[in-house]
Amino acid sequence: MTRILIVDDSAVDRRVVGGLLDREGSFSLQFAKDGREGLEQVVTNPPDLILTDLQMPQINGLQLVETVRRKYPLIPVILMTAQGSEKIAVEALERGAASYVSKTHLTQDLVDIVKRVLAVAGHQRTVRSLMKRMGRMQCRFVLTNDPAMLTSLVAYLQNLIREMDLFPESDRLRIGVALEEALLNAAYHGNLEVSSELREVDHTRYYALARERSEQSPYCNRSVHVEVDICKDGARYVIRDEGPGFDPGTLPDPTDPSNLDRPCGRGLLLMRTFMDEIRYNELGNEVTMVKRVVPRETRDESPIQQQSVAEQDLPTQ
């Protein structure tokens, strides 16, 4: 069974989270009352995934994320955010957390987010590089709006960067999460035209409407187009939908703490945090995401030095 470690100083919250996951019947749950106890369990009985609160005594959630990313990069950490912890959550995402879920939306979102992160992380653990000498890979895909197909593409693309021995393991996971968010946005918001605002008010209706439109014209006739260019300098992903598009200038600032708890800003926050460059076309139906390789010998340099390396341009297509 998949082992999940739940770290929270609130006994009530530990029970709530444990109860939601226990209903699935496929998780083995471990519990810790703070970050220090959580790290002790990681050493003695490594979990497959960690769910952690942010504000805790001893070692807090931010410190836990940093330590796990440094010492156990294959173990993804999902943050559980509460009101008042928004700024720390943004910082934790920047320092290595794989995703986050708001405590006010645990019932609707927790299991889905856990499964998605586990799917990406599990693939990373099992697939080993056979193509490290590949100099460059360029490919194109035309996909349906089926979430299973989109998730399979994410796993395949992660395998490519693993095979080429690009990026630290923790960055590969974060790239996968950003890709999945962009692909789901293209399918749900672009092709199926299901508003993210609906998810804020009626989670069940949001997914029901997506299922309905996946079988209705013109929505079901639209495809998700993906262009990939991976080389030794990094990776570029271009994702385009066939929907009507939108004005990119109307996007909310995902780093604004007031937007962190809104489901409609979650995907954009993860994409912008995990990738080096995000840009939309004028129509709003195409997003380009770039992740640059930081040479191993400079990964421990200062942020300013790392930024100068990250500003190198990838080869043009």
Per-residue pLDDT of the chain (317 residues; tens, 9 = 90+): 899 999 999 999 999 999 999 998 889 999 999 999 999 999 999 999 999 998 898 888 889 999 998 888 889 999 998 876 677 788 888 888 899 998 888 999 999 999 999 988 876 565 444 466 677 889 999 999 999 999 999 999 998 888 788 898 889 999 999 999 999 999 999 999 998 888 777 888 988 999 999 999 999 999 999 999 999 899 999 999 999 998 887 776 666 666 566 656 677 888 988 999 999 999 999 999 999 998 766 555 443 344 333 334 454 43
The domain locations on the chain are 2-123, 132-310
Q: DSSP secondary structure string, 236-280? A: EEEEE--S----GGG---TTSGGGTT-HHHHHHHHHHHHSSEEEE
Q: How far apart are CA 76 and CA 276, in angstroms?
A: 20
DSSP H helices, the chain, are: 11-22, 35-44, 61-71, 86-95, 106-126, 147-163, 169-184, 196-201, 203-213, 263-274, 303-310
Q: Do domains 2-123 and 132-310 have the same CATH topology?
A: no
Class of CATH domain 2-123: alpha beta
Fold observed for domain 132-310: Heat Shock Protein 90 (3.30.565)
